[in-house]
């Protein structure tokens, strides 16, 4: 009775189903190997934790933080963007602290769109994109991300007369782990500018890159008409701290600040201080953290190939996206796998129609645990019982 039309439009999550399946496995005495959630198991940098500890001892940090209090974090974010991507931003007008990228996106959509506007977003995609689009009352048009195009969208295939209000992209990508090269964002930004579309780039995996690959920033294509969302959740293992920042087009950020001003205050000052310290750490600190995920990738991908599954070796992110031969119902498969083996994966369908036939592994366990997970999965039938019975 009290659910608004807006709330009712938010799609349900298959993660509740997975949670119930894990619970059933537990009640059968199975140990759970949870690879279904991309929550880093690493600890934040010591220097960031020390800054937070020191802040909690300072009663001056306990008040509501005002915009002027966010200056040190805004300046740290601007310095990070300059050091890492060669992008210059005005720390007063072109950077805004967030309570995580997800909060930032939800409020950004409310700030820059009107109900009924069109949002172009990838399929598959991070599921909350669909929820936040529903909250904002947007018409979603999906861009297929296909293996044969390296899971990059084909903007040239979008009908000429479609002029979306915003295009939402995310590279390194969740769930596919695909990456963009240096030419990608300038091309996407030019496409957006020609159509009067705001380019929103969700960039929480910016530093989780492997080998020689470096993830570009969409802001390298210029700030006008581009907003990028950064997060310390993955890059600095601070997911529970809820902190990130938006940077880019000053009009869009002013609108975001206005909406946020009505809805929330900024993060606790101690968390801002910890985030500012983390952003200022030498790049090697982030690279050492990324290597942990790289080693896990190197353990998992060959084991999946031995099962006959198709998975590219990701150059970034904390996921492996695997196509499972014969898989037609990834949700039923993931529930079955969790119930019978205790191994929890994300079904590809949870990320959109184009995700069917795939599963996503989050690299949040050590290599030997990933190897054990694959051993357990080897015994789980991929096909549905009725398919197995078919002549």
**Residues within the interface to ligand PLP (CB under 6 A):** 38, 100-102, 126, 170, 174, 202, 204, 231, 233, 239, 244
**Full DSSP string of 201-212:** EE-TTTT-B-TT
CB of 244 to ligand PLP, least distance (A): 4
CB of 58 to ligand PLP, least distance (A): 25
In 106-197 the beta strands, taken as DSSP E runs, fall at: 118-123, 139-144, 166-169
Residue with smaller CB distance to ligand PLP, 231 or 340 = 231
CB of 55 to ligand PLP, least distance (A): 20
CB of 146 to ligand PLP, least distance (A): 19
Residue with smaller CB distance to ligand PLP, 170 or 209 = 170
| Residue closest to ligand PLP when measured from CB atoms | 100
Residue with smaller CB distance to ligand PLP, 239 or 286 = 239
Cβ–Cβ < 8 Å for 216, 182? yes
Other Cβ atoms less than 10 A from the Cβ of 11: the count is 12
Q: Which contiguous run of DSSP H or E holds residue 22?
A: helix 15-27
Residue with smaller CB distance to ligand PLP, 175 or 382 = 175
Task: Map tokens 């750490």 to a residue.
Answer: 281
Cβ–Cβ < 8 Å for 351, 127? yes
State whether residue 52 is helix, strand or coil: helix
- Residue in 294, 299, 317 with CA at minimum distance from that of residue 375: 299
Residue with smaller CB distance to ligand PLP, 217 or 233 = 233
CB of 150 to ligand PLP, least distance (A): 17
C-alpha dihedral sign at 191, 101, 353, 178: positive
CB of 67 to ligand PLP, least distance (A): 20
Residue with smaller CB distance to ligand PLP, 243 or 334 = 243
């Amino acid at each position: 009775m009290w659910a608004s039309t807006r709330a009712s439009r938010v799609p349900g999550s298959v993660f509740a189903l997975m949670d119930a399946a894990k619970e059933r496995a537990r009640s059968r005495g199975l140990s759970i190997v949870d690879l279904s959630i991309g929550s880093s198991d690493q600890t934040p940098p010591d220097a960031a934790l020390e800054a937070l500890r020191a802040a909690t001892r300072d009663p001056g940090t306990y008040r509501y933080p005002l915009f002027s209090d966010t200056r040190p974090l805004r300046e740290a974010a601007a310095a990070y963007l300059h050091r890492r991507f060669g992008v210059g931003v005005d720390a007063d007008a072109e950077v805004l602290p967030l309570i995580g990228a997800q909060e930032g996106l939800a409020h950004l959509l409310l700030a820059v769109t009107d109900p009924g506007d069109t949002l172009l977003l990838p399929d598959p995609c991070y599921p909350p994109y669909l929820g936040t689009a529903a909250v904002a009352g947007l018409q979603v048009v999906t861009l297929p991300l296909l293996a044969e195009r390296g899971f990059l969208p084909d903007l040239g295939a979008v009908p000429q007369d479609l002029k979306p209000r915003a295009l939402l992209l995310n590279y390194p990508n969740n769930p596919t782990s695909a990456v963009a090269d240096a030419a990608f964002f300038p091309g996407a930004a030019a496409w957006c500018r020609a159509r009067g579309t705001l380019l929103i780039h969700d960039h929480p995996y910016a530093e989780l890159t492997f080998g020689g690959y470096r993830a570009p920033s969409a802001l390298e294509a210029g700030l006008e008409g581009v907003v990028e969302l950064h997060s310390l959740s993955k890059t600095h293992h601070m997911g529970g701290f809820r902190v990130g920042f938006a940077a880019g087009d000053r009009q869009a950020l002013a609108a975001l600040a206005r909406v946020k001003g009505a809805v929330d205050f900024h993060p606790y000052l101690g968390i801002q201080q910890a985030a500012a310290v983390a952003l200022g750490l030498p790049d090697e600190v982030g690279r050492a953290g990324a290597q942990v995920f790289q080693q896990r990738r190197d353990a998992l991908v060959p084991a999946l190939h031995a099962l006959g599954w198709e998975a590219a070796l990701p150059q970034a992110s904390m996921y492996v996206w695997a196509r499972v031969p014969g898989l037609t119902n990834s949700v039923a498969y993931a529930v079955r796998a969790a119930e019978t083996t205790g191994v929890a994966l994300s079904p590809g369908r949870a990320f959109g129609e184009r995700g069917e036939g795939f599963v996503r592994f989050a690299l949040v366990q050590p290599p030997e645990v990933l190897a054990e997970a694959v051993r357990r999965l080897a015994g789980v039938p991929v096909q549905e019982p009725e398919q197995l019975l078919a002549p």
